[in-house]
Amino acid sequence: MKVSLRAGELIYINGAVLRVDRKVAIELVNDVMFLLENQIMQAADATTALRQLYFMVQLMLMNPTDHQDAAVLYKQHHAALKAVCENRQMLDGLDQVGELVAATRYYEALKRIRALFPVEQAILSGTAIELPIEAA
């Protein structure tokens, strides 16, 4: 996989934080977990149940050698969300997220959670219609 970065941009690779000093393209030639700076959610932005779930999975991805605490919180939060949610689209999405996390495919799980943000927003605003889900 080839990733292009702008000068000063951060990338998180297998728990390491790298900042590039100039525009660069890097090729990841083996299986690594990474996040680009614009995909990182700050704790203060985890203001909804689904965003909190995203933050927990993000912590598991960013700190692969010490993710047990985040994994415990994730499991509890995921189960609680599934227990209270009635929207079929959200439930199906949460099932997919659960499968991805169980397979340690955290990046794909984050992508799936991001795709559910509009569904959550519709539920919270009281306009819970079935929305087309796009890959984020």
Task: Match 């397979």 to its residue by tokens.
Answer: 103
Which of 109, 110, 106, 130 is CA-nearest to residue 118?
130
Looking at the fold, whether 80 and 30 belong to one and the same domain comes out as: no
Residue 95 DSSP one-character state: H
pTM: 0.82
Which of 93, 96, 98, 85 is CA-nearest to residue 117?
93
What range defines the domain where residue 72 resides?
A: 42-124
Q: What is the pLDDT of residue 134?
A: 54
Looking at the fold, whether 17 and 69 belong to one and the same domain comes out as: no
Looking at the fold, whether 118 and 52 belong to one and the same domain comes out as: yes
Residue 83 has pLDDT above 70, yes or no: yes
Average pLDDT of the chain, as a whole number: 88
Looking at the fold, whether 63 and 13 belong to one and the same domain comes out as: no
**Confidence band (pLDDT; 50, 70, 90) for 133?**
low
Number of structural domains found in the chain: 2
Q: Each residue of 37-46: pLDDT tens digit? A: 888 899 999 9
Angle between helices 49-62 and 88-102 (to 10 degrees): 10
Looking at the fold, whether 19 and 81 belong to one and the same domain comes out as: no
Q: Confirm whether 131 is domain-assigned.
A: no
Looking at the fold, whether 50 and 6 belong to one and the same domain comes out as: no
